[in-house]
Amino acid sequence: MSPAWSRVRAWTVRIGVLALLCGAGLGVYRVRKTQAGATYPNAPAKKGEFLVLVRCRGSVRARRSVGIYTPMVPNLRIGWIAPTGSTAKAGDVILRFDSSTAQQQLMQKQAQLKQAQATLDQAFAQAKITAQQDQRQLADVQFAVEQAGYQVKKDELQKGPIAGKESAIDLEIAQQKLKLQEATIALHEASSASHIASLTRQRDQVQTDVDITTARIAQMELKAPSGGLLLFYMNYSGVFTTADAKPYKVGDNVGSNMILGSIPDLDTLEMNVKLEEADRGRVAVNQDALVRVDALPEASVPAKVNEVTALAEMSLEYPYTRSFRASAQLLRPDPRLRPDMNGGLDVIVRRIPDAVSIPSKALFTRAGKPVVYIAERGRYRAAEVGIEARNPDEVAVTGVPGGATVALVDVAAEERKK
């Protein structure tokens, strides 16, 4: 073997050994780094826009909604009700009340009306007959008065004054009979008018009862005042606690002119929240926000603050606290959202571009200064950081490179325990 070939072979062996050593060192580094990362819980430091948030809790509500009210009818019992959560068009029947009792009452009232009308017609006929009889008698009496007057004149001319006086007495008697007949006619007319008026009032009263019962039966069907989602409230009648309330069902009795539910306008959904007194000065109208609903944890709906109350509310339970009310309009509502869903509102009060953020659990204090523990080369290094902004679960810091791995526990304290 030539000397040149021997040198090539020797260098080849050296390079192979060096490659093996580098590979082994890299493997050890990776193993130690993996062990360091696995020793304590950790999380990556994220780089990007950091949103400074004010977080509050509340529920979804519709700014515009139409109430579903029961009619002004006594003794209402539900006979059929549309399922809550279903959709209806304006004019669709959404609830029917049991009208069997009202139908029976209507039949009775109609029978009474027919009887009252027959009695009134009979009274009219009897008054007409009495008036005709009175007019015949009046004609007879008037004729007798004329005859007596003619006889007085005749006797005075033919028989003398004494006979004329006797005939005058007969005339006076006939005139008295005429007055009596006229008084009788007036009495009969007044009596008939009073009787007919009384029967007319009775007939009108029964007619009114028939009209009222007919109108009540017509109101036994509730129709949707507008199209949309049907939301019926819980029935709190006869329960001791709100937890015992149940949905309205067939057979339930309800009062007149009470609200049973509502039809919300889903295009006007907003999140109504309680705003703590310490955060009131940081929240203003037209600020951007994000809505998260407990029932839909994967959904994040953009919103905009549209109202912040100026007056605080005092809680009714101890410890007594003061809070404000705020609402944010949902810009692109999720079709699955419904009123009264609980959730949170994150109001964006400031945006920090190109910020590095870490979980709040990764920030610790050492010698009065904020520090984080960064995983490097199989161990953790304490690094002092500056705090730019803070949210309940994350902090924007300086002094940590983006993508770095930070420990979620106090590494120094954990090491001292070993």
Rounded-to-integer distance, Cα 361 and Cα 250, Å: 54
* Beta-bridge partners for 68: 261
Angle between helices 100-158 and 161-218 (to 10 degrees): 170
Burial letters 108-136, b for 16+ CB under 10 A, else e: ebbebbeebbeebeebeeebeeeeeebee
Rounded-to-integer distance, Cα 371 and Cα 383, Å: 5
- pLDDT, residue 1, reads 47
- pLDDT, residue 24, reads 55
- pLDDT, residue 20, reads 65
Residues in the chain: 418
pLDDT in 10s for each residue of the chain, 418 residues: 455 555 556 556 566 656 666 565 555 445 444 444 447 899 999 999 999 999 999 999 999 899 999 998 888 999 999 998 888 999 999 999 999 989 999 999 999 999 999 999 999 999 999 999 999 999 988 888 888 887 777 766 666 666 667 777 878 888 898 899 899 999 999 999 999 999 999 999 999 999 999 999 999 999 998 888 899 999 988 778 778 889 999 999 999 999 999 999 888 899 999 999 889 999 999 999 999 999 999 989 999 999 999 998 887 777 778 899 999 999 988 888 988 899 999 999 999 999 999 999 999 998 889 999 999 887 899 999 999 999 989 999 999 999 999 999 999 888 887 6
Cis peptide before 319 (omega within 30 of 0): yes
**40 DSSP 8-state letter:** S
pTM: 0.62
**401 DSSP 8-state letter:** -
How far CA 354 is from CA of 80, 350, 385, 403, in Å, comes to 60, 13, 16, 13
- pLDDT, residue 162, reads 63
Rounded-to-integer distance, Cα 409 and Cα 382, Å: 12
